[in-house]
Structure 1
Amino acid sequence: MSKQSNIERGKWRTKCREKLSEHIEKHLGINIKPSQVRLQSTREDGYLWRALPEKQHLFSKNLSEHSARAYKDLCEGVGTTFEAVRATPDSYPGQDAFVSIGTEPPSFTSRINELQVQNDYLTQQLNLLRFQLEAEIKLRLSVEEKQNVADERISTTQEKLDAAVRREGYFRSIALRYSQGFARIIPIINEIQESPGITEEGYL
């Protein structure tokens, strides 16, 4: 193994020991120095590890024997995929260093169940919001369609009104011209009516 790899591995091992020590103290109130943290603990240590099945392989060997990748997994999973639990009076040297999910006290299982309930609730809320959003979209589309129809009717009505105004102006202009024509013709007709009549023999 290269010198750089050893440095990287040592850095993650130190970080892992510190995080596990902090977790044990915070979770159980047991003060364990980082250098004394064990993955394969004993009754004298006062704690055991409880892990999800996919993480139980991390507890199959001593902490000092792991790779940098395993240290990273331990740092990321502490308190989430595995946790420290207080050793019972039945704990003894040689006992498994971890307790499988399903046989442990209720804290870890309760937390998983709690997270599942929260996840189900959030899923329901998400589905409700999605339904409300779809209903809102449909409503807005319906309103927009109705508005478009109304706008089209208003536009058509306005066009008809404008055409009617133009026709009214045209007929008004014709009426005015007729009126002016009659005004010129009537005096002529009156003048003719007032003039002496003309017969076959000449003027009367």
Structure 2
Amino acid sequence: MAKVRLSNLERRRLREECRELLSKHIGIKVHPSQVRLMPKSSDPYRWKIMPEKEEALSGLFSKNISDHSIRAYRELCEGVDKTFEAVSSTPPPTNALDSVVSLQGPEESFSAKIEHLENESARLFHELCQWRDKATAESKGRQLAEEEANRLYDTNQQLQDRIRDYSDRANYLTGRVMKCFEGLDKVLPVLEELKSGLTLGVSSG
């Protein structure tokens, strides 16, 4: 019994919530208790279902709100402005099923929304392509910069190698020159002695 009472309370809560939501969605002043899934000819609104949802949802609009189950209330709440919507009642429907119309009628609100989303998608895709092209160009620029940096690095390494080679040669030549000077330092005194001896010999003769 307790479970039955809880179920009834939940069903009542969802039914009232569903009426409130549908009433707000209709967009004109319709009291929640006066919202109908099968509008009368005098009601200023009717329901329009997206074509691909007609078969699945048409049963929801063939009963009064009070006759539905908890599951049906949840489907109605979740589908508002997504799978169905309220539109102006022109011309008035002739029977209950006529109040459930497809998207192919004169009203184009769903179509307008879809077209808007498609246009927005195309705009975003175009923007994405622009950013992708920009990123590609920047990537190529970075690649060229890296290649130039590598080239300059290799050139610098070659210059450093040549500098080391010249430095080694300079050190080698400096060493040879120093040895030459050392040899001269040894030879010059001997030459001076020989020169002095020859001078004395000439003078004595």
TM-score for the superposition, normalised by structure 1: 0.78
Deviation of 1:115 after TM superposition, in Å, equals: 1.8
In structure 2, distance between residues paired with 1:154 and 1:184: 45
In structure 2, distance between residues paired with 1:168 and 1:35: 106
In structure 2, distance between residues paired with 1:17 and 1:128: 47
- Name the counterpart of 2:37: 39
Deviation of 1:7 after TM superposition, in Å, equals: 4.9
The alignment partner of 1:43 has SS state of: coil
The question of 1:173 aligning with 2:175 is answered: yes
Q: How many residues align?
A: 194
- Name the counterpart of 1:195: 197
In structure 1, distance between residues paired with 2:167 and 2:69: 92
Deviation of 1:101 after TM superposition, in Å, equals: 0.9
Kept in 2, the 8 Å contact 1:9–1:67? The answer is yes
Q: Deviations over 1:150-180 (max 9, x none)?
A: 2122122222212322321232232123223
- Name the counterpart of 2:153: 151
Deviation of 1:48 after TM superposition, in Å, equals: 0.5
Counterparts in 2 of 1:177 and 1:64: CA distance versus 1, 3 Å? farther
Deviation of 1:142 after TM superposition, in Å, equals: 2.5
Kept in 2, the 8 Å contact 1:50–1:104? The answer is no
The alignment partner of 2:85 has SS state of: strand
Give 1:155's aligned amino acid.
Q
In structure 1, distance between residues paired with 2:82 and 2:34: 22
Structure 2 alignment gaps of length 5 or more: 200-204
Q: Deviations over 1:70-91 (max 9, x none)?
A: 4344333322332211112433
CA RMSD of aligned residues (A): 2.8
Q: Percent identity?
A: 37
User: Following superposition of structure 1 onto structure 2, how do residues 38-57 of structure 1 map, counting pairs within 5 Å?
Assistant: 38-56=36-54, 57=57
- Name the counterpart of 2:114: 112
Structure with greater proportional helix content = 2
Deviation of 1:31 after TM superposition, in Å, equals: 1.4
Residue of 123, 126, 135 corresponding to 1:124: 126
The alignment partner of 2:46 has SS state of: strand
User: Following superposition of structure 1 onto structure 2, how do residues 4-83 of structure 1 map, counting pairs within 5 Å?
Assistant: 7-25=9-27, 30-56=28-54, 57=57, 58-83=60-85
- Name the counterpart of 2:138: 136
Structure 1 alignment gaps of length 5 or more: 198-203
- Name the counterpart of 2:202: none
TM-score for the superposition, normalised by structure 2: 0.78
